[in-house]
Amino acid sequence: MDHLGHDADEFLADHKLTRKDIGRWILNTGGPKILEATATALGLTRRDLDASRECLRKVGNLPSASMLMVREDVFKRRRPEPGAYSLLDAMGPAFCSELVLLRWQ
């Protein structure tokens, strides 16, 4: 988690964006401690974690599938305005992280 904020900032900067440009965060559920560490690393609020927390509450931590569940929840219930950006952060074993930039239509 030590590098997540920096990595996200560099990734977004490559697209001429900052964290403030992200309308909805789509984060790996990972568990309560992972969500809190992610929030701290990225400077996120409780609202920013609502889709991930809801998914964790409903189905638990489904490592790879959780990203699809959180994305589906955002798509159906928390969809940002057209043109807004989302950053999807998927985590893997031994803490590897993949970032995907989405733009809503």
Q: What is the pLDDT of residues 4-49, one digit of tens each?
A: 999 999 999 999 999 999 999 999 888 899 899 999 999 999 899 9
Give SS3 for 51: helix
Under a CB-based contact definition with an 8 Å cutoff, are residues 22 and 85 in contact? Answer: yes
To the nearest 10°, the Cα dihedral for 76, 81, 87, 88?
10
Compute the distance between CA of residue 79 and CA of residue 62 in angstroms, rounded to an integer.
22
Q: Write down all domains in the chain, each with its CATH number in brackets.
A: 4-103 (3.40.47.10)
32-42 helix and 4-13 helix, angle to the nearest 10 degrees: 50
Q: pTM value?
A: 0.85
